[in-house]
Amino acid sequence: MNLISVIVPCYNEEEAIPYFYEEIQKTAQKMEDVDFEFIFVNDGSKDNTVSIVKEYANKDERVKYLSFSRNFGKEAAIYAGLQNCRGDYAVLMDADLQDPPYLLPEMYEAIVDDGYDSVATRRVTRKGEPPIRSLFARLFYKIINKISDADIVDGARDYRLMTRQMVDAILSMSEYNRFSKGIFGWIGFNTKWIEFENVERVAGETKWSFWKLFKYSLEGITAFSIVPLQLASVIGVLLSLIAFIFIIIIVVRTIMFGDPVSGWPSTMCVIILLGGLQLLAIGVLGQYLSKTYLETKKRPIYILKDDNIHEK
């Protein structure tokens, strides 16, 4: 039988894991023609997440776990799960049940019967989210799809079932600065999208604050687009042209009407404006330079502290 690897990144999910394990068990029982392995990736949790997972592992041989030495982030957890899974297919799911397990049979049928390489999910509503957060999320998807080659669907979740070929393609992109939603779109493959209503967390609190999501969006933009660099160059050229035109106007006016006294407020406004734009351009350059710096270090994406997958 085919083997499906269920990869579950976990960070302080002790309250949600029992609910998730119960629901994924029900789904696995319905899919009698498929074998499962459940890989819980403990991303440096500070609660009892890893202890709970170990208890399940002692009772259920299908339960595997990878425990990081510290918090490396969800992207690292996704990569670790994909790198260590054995399945013919792999599916990414959150432990909070915002990725409904009941969709998995439909996703599997779409790959096996309809020939898709992956089946991904997207939320059609953002019910329960703060309005400001939803607004900025939609704005982000519009911007990144216009300025990059990656196909990122609005409302897309990380919840997707993939063939082994697609998993291997993702793993071949071993970059340190990872943005999975962009990687999924960039590598291509034939993907079917399944829509569902937004589901509230079953337990616990979200680990994604507005500031973390903002930084994550910057990661995505800088990882899959050089438009910010091009924009900084265009602004520089435009300002140079405007400055050159002003110089000509000042020279002509001085020759024809004498040397007028320049206003101090207007001078300061121009200086502050130009200084701010210069700092903005330097900041954009710094973002890309920092990514290059981190990539050249060749540091590991994650460090394992404990697991039950590799032979001891």
Tell me the domain boundaries of the chain: 2-224+300-307, 227-297
The most distant pair of C-alpha atoms in the chain lies apart, rounded to whole Å, by 93
What CATH code would you report for 2-224+300-307? Answer: 3.90.550.10
pLDDT in tens, 225-246: 666 766 766 776 676 667 667 6
pLDDT at position 77 is 92
Q: Which residues pair with 119 in a beta bridge?
A: 161, 192
Q: What's residue 119's pLDDT?
A: 92
Whole-angstrom distance, CA of residue 1 vs CA of residue 141: 38
Taking CA 270 as the corner, what is the angle to CA 269 and CA 273, rounded to the nearest 5 degrees? 85
Instruction: Confirm if 5 and 91 have CB atoms less than 8 A apart.
Output: yes
Angle, CA of 158, 173 and 209, to the nearest 5°: 40
Q: What is the pTM of this model?
A: 0.72
Name residues of the chain where pLDDT drops below 70: 125-138, 140-152, 154, 198-227, 229-230, 232-233, 236-237, 239-241, 243-244, 246-247, 249-251, 253-255, 257-270, 272-273, 276, 311-312
Q: In the prediction, which pLDDT does 185 show?
A: 81
Angle, helix 164-171 to helix 74-84, in steps of 10 degrees:
130
pLDDT score for 150: 62
